[in-house]
Structure 1
């Protein structure tokens, strides 16, 4: 199991919309996330800075393939067409990232 964290900005005028979307997340999107070996997925919002922090546990053996399966899913693509316009990627993200991945520096069970 690997814990992962990531950050992205949230456009100020999109906070209510983003919260509403996630209050009624689509079952097919959630099923695809689970099928790609992601567990304990949580997104936090820090206002007024409008920074989203996401964390999950990856329980698979081929992260690239599992992420490709999510990206190829037509329902997930429809979901992203709603959520992506709400988000504002960080300037410091790596090429090819939408959410900026973070390094774990501390964990306590």
Structure 2
């Protein structure tokens, strides 16, 4: 998929975040993500998120995403207001546990980027 001219003119912001996976919900979380709902994926795209990936190491989930929009807060509010995404989160949130470094108002703990190379 090629980038639109709007995406090309907007700088990409990269986000890395972590959260713990509750061991007793591991299989449920993996099952859900093997068949992620198309409406949730469409909302992710509509909210200007690209290259969204979640990695697993032991009981630690690491997410990486690129934001190509102009108003991250507004796009994240739009995502949070989406009823299908809310239902998805009702299933996935109990599978997760915040890390000790969690930030108030954030479910996943934001990470600081220390290196990037294009």
Report the TM-score, using the length of structure 2 for normalisation: 0.89
Q: Specify the alignment match of 1:88 in structure 2.
A: 97
- RMSD, matched Cα: 0.6
Q: Specify the alignment match of 2:8 in structure 1.
A: none
What's the offset of the Cα at 1:91?
2.0
Tell me whether 1:22 sits opposite 2:25 in the alignment.
Answer: no
Query: What is the correspondence of 1:38-49 to structure 2 with a 5 Å cutoff?
Result: 38-47=49-58
Match of residue 75, structure 1, among 77, 81, 84? 84
What's the offset of the Cα at 1:7?
0.2
Which runs of at least 4 in structure 1 moved beyond 2 Å after TM superposition?
none
Return the index of the structure with the highest Cα Rg. Answer: 2
Structure 2 unmatched ranges of 5 or more: 1-11
Q: Specify the alignment match of 2:112 in structure 1.
A: 103
